[in-house]
Amino acid sequence: MNNNESALSTRREFIKNTTKIAAASALAGVAIPHVHAAGSDLIQVALIGCGGRGTGAAAQALSTKGGPIKLVAMADVFEDRLASSYENLQKGKGDKVDVPQDRRFVGLDGYKKAMDCLRPGDVAIFATPPAFRWVHFAYAVNKGLNVFMEKPVTVDGPTSKRMLETAEESVRKNLKVGVGLMSRHSRALQELAKRIQDGELGEIILQRGYRMHGPVGYFSSLPKPPGISELMYQIRRFHSFLWASGGNYSDFYIHIIDHLGWMKNAWPVKAQGLGARHYRTSPEGQTYVDQNMDVYSVEYTYADGSKFIFDGRCMTGCAEIYSSYIHGTKGMAIASRSGDCGGPSAIYKSQNPRRADLLWESKVPAGQEDPYQNEWDDLMDAIRNDKPYNEAKRGIEASLVTSMGRMAAHTGQEITFEDMLNCPHEMAPGLDTFTDDSPAPLKADANGRYPVPMPGITRKTEY
């Protein structure tokens, strides 16, 4: 099969699967009884993963207005993070926080204990490192829980397949599932997507995305210090390790990759790219041992041959660009001016964003400016009013397309959607059996260094 035939096959399969799940969603909404918080209007929430994003998601859940809601359980592998999260939520949402000490669970099995506090139809929030998403999602769906899970939701092919199966089961059970790709809930980007898909830009011929700034989060790491196990060190600094997060490429870049695919109304079918490691010592002269590259440039290709270029950089002192653009046969659009979905979005009649060429600029209704809150308002509205709502499959595909670009850069090979989905390399096998004392999926050498991508040398796997 040649590349064009492969791309068309991918697109047909994508459309077929999307149609099948959409139909299943519609049938689920009709045929299966409404499920939430059995016997009560109160919706209970459990937070699994109590870092900054998890704490923020819980606060947004508790800020929804549709009916009574309470946080009743929390879990994390780190006691200090759980304690800090609880303290912050108690201060901000005290009347909606009911998590006594015996419902705060520390350890890798805490996710089960927290979800066991819920009833069918309640909501579990997953904001742990994404490697654990398939384990937690399967447990939630088995218990009949609605879910909000942070992005990315997969980091490799085997777990993507597992997640797709669980997503189908969640649809059959009429569960509502939100994924933290909040750009999809930006009212400005929703309007832009509608206008583009109505033909205001003509045919899309090029997309550009950029996230270039200094190191953030746990982008880089030094050798493991004493006093913490290898597994817990890698979980704590999850951005540094591909098995835990997909690295900075997956965790930082997925938002722009997702919303530009949305604007095209398709996923890229293949990718080729490059990346490099430049400054790998700390200001004190210590060697960074993480698996990330400092720079990435990936060219994605859609089935119709059009291109999407994504550039990423985590380096201090360089020009900072964090925005996204769409070029069509009738003009161009700015999707995000700043950040993952910073407005206003706009359409221009030329290929230059000159004010004189402006055709449309977004105006967001009052009270709907925050896409993080919007995604929770939309999810809770669907739960309370039994509306079809399941973002799992789309979130898995966005994660897979992101991983496709990452693998292309890490291996130096052209990687197709099917290559990524069918790649047998599971980075953390057996994760559902891990305990707090398990060995880490990644082993350091005698100098505390971890294996890194070597494009052209490691060509079938990323390290």
Q: DSSP secondary structure string, 136-159?
A: HHHHHHHTT-EEEEPSP--SSHHH
Those residues with Cβ within 8 angstroms of residue 456's Cβ, 6 or more apart along the chain or in another chain: 411, 412
CATH of the domain at 380: 3.40.50.720
14-to-3, 115, 255, 438 alpha-carbon distances in Å: 16, 33, 20, 38
Q: At what angle do helices 187-197 and 247-264 cross, to 10 degrees?
A: 50
Q: Where are the beta strands (DSSP E) in 24-122?
A: 43-48, 69-76, 104-106
Residues 191 and 326 in one domain: yes
Mean pLDDT by 10 residues, the chain (463 residues): 42 42 38 47 98 98 97 98 98 96 98 98 98 98 98 98 98 98 98 98 98 97 96 98 98 98 98 94 91 98 98 97 98 98 97 97 97 98 98 98 98 98 98 97 94 97 97
User: What single DSSP character describes residue 103?
Assistant: G
Residues 30 and 64 in one domain: yes
Distance CA 135, CA 130 (A): 10
Those residues with Cβ within 8 angstroms of residue 356's Cβ, 6 or more apart along the chain or in another chain: none
Those residues with Cβ within 8 angstroms of residue 329's Cβ, 6 or more apart along the chain or in another chain: 201, 202, 203, 205
Residues 297 and 334 in one domain: yes
Distance CA 212, CA 219 (A): 13
Only one residue has tokens 């996230």, namely 211
User: Is 451 within a domain?
Assistant: no
Residues 319 and 236 in one domain: yes
Check if the beta carbon of residue 396 is closer than 8 Å to that of residue 160.
yes
Only one residue has tokens 């004190």, namely 284
User: Is 193 within a domain?
Assistant: yes
User: Is 224 within a domain?
Assistant: yes
Dihedral pair phi/psi, residue 389, rounded to 5°: -165, 105
User: Is 145 within a domain?
Assistant: yes
Residues 142 and 214 in one domain: no
Residues 49 and 175 in one domain: yes
User: Is 377 within a domain?
Assistant: yes
CATH of the domain at 220: 3.30.360.10
Residues 73 and 158 in one domain: yes
**Residue 115: Cβ within 10 Å count:** 23
User: Is 327 within a domain?
Assistant: yes
User: Is 419 within a domain?
Assistant: yes
Those residues with Cβ within 8 angstroms of residue 103's Cβ, 6 or more apart along the chain or in another chain: 72, 73, 74, 114, 117
User: Which SS3 state, helix, strand or coil, does residue 47 take?
Assistant: strand
Spell out the long-range contacts of 215-219 with Cβ–Cβ below 8 A and sequence spacing 24 or more.
215/314, 215/315, 215/316, 216/252, 216/314, 217/248, 217/251, 217/252, 218/290, 219/248, 219/290, 219/292, 219/314
Q: Where are the beta strands (DSSP E) in 362-421?
A: 415-416
Domain range for 70 is 3-183+372-389
Computed over its alpha carbons, how large is the radius of gyration of the chain? 22
Dihedral pair phi/psi, residue 105, rounded to 5°: -115, 130
Distance CA 177, CA 25 (A): 11
Residues 114 and 195 in one domain: no
Residues 86 and 231 in one domain: no
Residues 340 and 382 in one domain: no
User: Is 232 within a domain?
Assistant: yes
Residues 377 and 263 in one domain: no
Of the candidates 229, 281, 192, the one whose C-alpha atom is nearest the C-alpha of residue 77 is: 229
Residues 216 and 140 in one domain: no
Task: Check residue 36 and give its pLDDT.
Answer: 55
* Half-sphere exposure at residue 362, Cβ-oriented, CA atoms within 13 angstroms: 26
Amino acid at 147: V
Task: Check residue 326 and give its pLDDT.
Answer: 98
As for how many domains the chain has, the answer is: 2
